[in-house]
């Protein structure tokens, strides 16, 4: 029986990639490294640490751990300045409606995100009250495709992975869901999210009834 839905944040419920792009590009440029939209795509789902490592590698730059932490903190300050301008209107279409619809039907709801800023973003966009569990970058040590983030969420909700659907926009997140034994629902392009059980371009056509039908079709 479907008991829970676990949502990734960035790219599923909110479009923060555009803010990450501005902040990472500013940092990369300061270090004399070019940073394009294509680079930004590569960073989807990666932790902050893995993201700066990608940029430094691209620019052939080696930094001490101290300097790396310094630049990561600077990038996060720029990113947070943008996050602080977010409001309810930045929840992606049908995100809030779907969460309400799931709640009304007694489906438990969790967040499974790599972001250490997840709680603030949920607050800014007024989505925080819908979550029974929040597993973010402050609670995990292994990044996706490791299933830790989703398994922790399932544990919080006292559900078995088989009883939950994971919503993800990143390949690594789909892999994490699959490895963890969850049913994965990709948000994006079927040609990119080839390992997802189902793929939808966004949340707009999804509701409780349809998710139940999708889920039941697998058992």
**Contact residues for ligand BG6, defined by CB under 6 A:** 9-10, 20, 43-48, 51, 76, 113-117, 137
Asked if 136 touches Mg ion (CB under 5 A), the answer is no
Asked if 39 touches Mg ion (CB under 5 A), the answer is no
Asked if 169 touches Mg ion (CB under 5 A), the answer is yes
Vertex 85 angle, CA 81 and 88, to 5°: 140
* Active-site entry in 8, 136, 156, 169: 8
Asked if 171 touches Mg ion (CB under 5 A), the answer is no
* Active-site entry in 10, 39, 136, 169: 10
- Going by the DSSP 8-state scheme, the letter that residue 82 receives in this structure is H
Contact between 9 and 219 (Cβ < 8 Å): no
Asked if 176 touches Mg ion (CB under 5 A), the answer is no
Residue nearest Mg ion, Cβ-based: 11
Q: Cβ closer to ligand BG6: 156 or 169?
A: 169
Contact between 164 and 109 (Cβ < 8 Å): no
Kind and range of the H or E element at 178? Answer: helix 171-180
Helix (H, G, I), strand (E, B) or coil at 36: coil
Helix (H, G, I), strand (E, B) or coil at 166: strand
Which tokens hold the place of 170? Answer: 């990143």
Smallest gap, in angstroms, from Cβ of residue 3 to Mg ion? Answer: 23
Residue 104 annotated as catalytic:
no
Q: Which does 144 bind (CB under 5 to 8 A by kind): ligand BG6, Mg ion, none?
A: none
Closest CA to 14 of 72, 101, 85: 85
Q: Which of 2, 7, 10, 143 is in the footprint of Mg ion by CB under 5 A?
A: 10
Smallest gap, in angstroms, from Cβ of residue 205 to ligand BG6? Answer: 23
Closest CA to 115 of 51, 41, 182: 51
Q: Cβ closer to Mg ion: 13 or 108?
A: 13
For residue 145, whether the previous peptide bond is cis, meaning omega lies within 30 degrees of 0, is yes
Residue 10 annotated as catalytic:
yes
Catalytic residue numbers read: 8, 10
Residues that bind Mg ion (CB under 5 A): 8, 10-11, 169-170
């Amino acid at each position: 029986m479907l008991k829970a839905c676990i949502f990734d944040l960035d790219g599923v419920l909110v479009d923060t990639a555009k803010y990450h792009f501005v902040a990472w590009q500013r940092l990369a440029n300061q270090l004399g490294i070019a940073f394009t939209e294509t680079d930004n795509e590569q960073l989807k789902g990666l932790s902050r640490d893995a993201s700066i490592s990608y940029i430094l590698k691209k620019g052939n730059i080696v930094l001490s751990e101290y300097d790396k932490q310094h630049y990561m903190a600077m990038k996060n300050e720029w990113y947070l300045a943008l996050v602080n301008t977010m409001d309810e209107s930045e929840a992606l279409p049908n995100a809030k409606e779907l969460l309400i619809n799931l709640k009304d039907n007694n489906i438990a709801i969790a967040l499974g995100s790599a972001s250490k800023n997840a709680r603030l973003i949920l607050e800014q966009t007024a989505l925080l009250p819908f979550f029974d569990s929040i597993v973010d970058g402050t609670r995990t040590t292994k990044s996706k495709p490791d299933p830790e983030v989703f398994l922790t969420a399932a544990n919080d909700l006292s559900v078995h992975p088989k009883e939950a659907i994971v919503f993800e926009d990143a390949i690594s997140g789909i892999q994490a869901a699959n490895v963890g034994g969850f049913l994965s629902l990709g948000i994006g392009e079927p040609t990119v999210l080839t390992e997802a059980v189902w793929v939808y371009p966004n949340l707009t056509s999804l509701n409780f009834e349809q998710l139940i039908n999708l889920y039941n079709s697998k058992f």
